[in-house]
Amino acid sequence: MKHEFWVKTNLGSIRTWKIGAPSAQHHVVIFTGLSEFCEKYLELISFLTNHDMEVLIFDWPGLGLSGAYGNPPTTSHTAGFDDLLQAGCDVIDKSGWADKRFFVIGHSMGGHLAFRLAGLTKYQIAGIMALSPMMLPQVTPSIPIFILASIISICGFKERIIPYTDQNTLLKTRKFNPQNPLSRNQKNIEKIIDLINENPSIARSGVSFGWLSSAFYSCFKTTMRSYFLKNIKLPVLILIGSGDKLVSINAIRNSVTYLSNSQLVSFNEAKHELYIEMPHIIEQTQNCIKGFINKNA
C-alpha cells in the first residue's frame, strides 16, 4: 500500500512515498537521481516490497512535484548539496525513520548523496547500494568548467539553464532515441514518456549553472577525497554499466580502493539507469540488491 504525504523541509515541501508494511523485515530509503521522480522507480519498488521490504522514496527539492526552482522552471536546479542533504535528513526524520535501521539505494546524484548521508554517521545505515553513483560528473575538463559555472552563478545566474543541456531530453523529444544515455530498453523508456505525457510537471530538462557548480563542489570535497571515503566503514555495493556516459567511471573505480567494505559490479554495455535497462540487467541488478540486503541484514 502506498502512502503519499508531504514533508516540510529547509527547501520547501517534499512529496514523499512510504510503501510496504511497517512491520517488514527490511527498510530501504531510495535516493533518486537528477531530473527524476518517484514514479520512475515503481518496478524496483514492487520488487523490494515483494521481498518483505518497506520503502521510503521522495522527490528531491526542485525535482518531480517538489517545487520548480530553475529558470525556466523545467530546469534542474539546486543552490547547494548541503541543503539537499539536509532536506533528505528532514524526510527521514519526519517520516519516523530516524531510529530505524535501514539500507539506502542511491542512483547517480542520489548515490553521491547516499555516501554523504553515510558520512554524517547520524543514522543506523545497514548498507549502501549505489547505482551508477555520481562520484564525479562526466563533464570535462572538470576544474575549468567548475570555475566557470561558479563564476556565472556568483554573477546572479545560478538558476539559469546551461545552454543546450535540455536538448534531446525525454521532456523535449517525447520519443525513444537509441543513442539516449539512459537505457537501451525502448519499452521502459516509453513507459517514462507515458508518465511525462500524463503529467509534464514531474519532468525536468537541462541543468542550471548553480546545480553544476554545486555538484562539482560537493564531489571535490567528499566523494573525490580519499579521507572521506576511508571513513565510510559500512558495507557498500556499487553497480555500474560499462556504457555509462553520465558519471565518471574512473572516479567510481578509484573510490573502491578507499572504501574498506565495498564491492563493485559492472554490467557489460549497460547504460546509466540500470533499474530500467534491458531485462537481464534489471534482473541482475535486483538480484544483487536482494543478495546484498540479505547478507547485511
Q: ω into residue 235 within 30 of 0, thus cis?
A: no
Give the position of cell 578507499. Answer: 258
Query: 217: exposed, middle or buried (C-beta count within 10 Å: 0-12, 13-18, 19+)?
Result: middle
What's the pLDDT at 168? 86
Task: Name residue 129's amino acid.
Answer: M
What's the pLDDT at 35? 96
Confirm if 246 and 196 have CB atoms less than 8 A apart. Answer: no
Confirm if 76 and 207 have CB atoms less than 8 A apart. Answer: yes
Rounded to the nearest 10 degrees, the angle between the axes of helix 81-94 and helix 109-119 is 70
Query: 118: exposed, middle or buried (C-beta count within 10 Å: 0-12, 13-18, 19+)?
Result: buried
The number of domains in the chain is 1
Q: How would you write the pLDDT of the chain (297 residues) with one tens digit per residue?
A: 799 999 999 999 999 999 999 999 999 999 999 999 999 999 999 999 999 999 999 999 999 999 999 999 999 999 899 999 999 999 999 999 999 999 999 999 999 999 999 999 999 999 999 999 999 999 999 999 999 999 999 999 999 999 999 988 999 999 999 999 999 999 999 999 999 999 999 999 999 999 999 999 999 999 999 999 999 999 999 999 999 999 999 999 999 999 999 999 999 999 999 999 999 999 999 999 999 999 999
* Cell numbers linked to 172: 523535449
| Three-state SS annotation for 30-81 | EECCCCCCHHHHHHHHHHHHHCCEEEEEECCCCCCCCCCCCECCCCECCCCH
Give the position of cell 567528499. Answer: 222
Dihedral angle of Cα 101, 228, 275, 20, to the nearest 10 degrees? 10
Residue 172, domain extent: 2-296
Distances (CA, A) of 282 to 77, 198, 266, 297: 29, 25, 13, 22
Confirm if 135 and 252 have CB atoms less than 8 A apart. Answer: yes
Task: Name residue 44's amino acid.
Answer: L
Confirm if 54 and 24 have CB atoms less than 8 A apart. Answer: yes
Count CA atoms closer than 13 A to 16's CA, side-chain side: 23
* Cell numbers linked to 276: 530500467
DSSP 52: T
Cα distance between residue 202 and residue 67, in whole Å:
9
Cα distance between residue 27 and residue 53, in whole Å:
5
Query: Residue 6 belongs to a domain with what CATH number?
Result: 3.40.50.1820
Distances (CA, A) of 125 to 224, 230, 292, 295: 21, 16, 13, 14
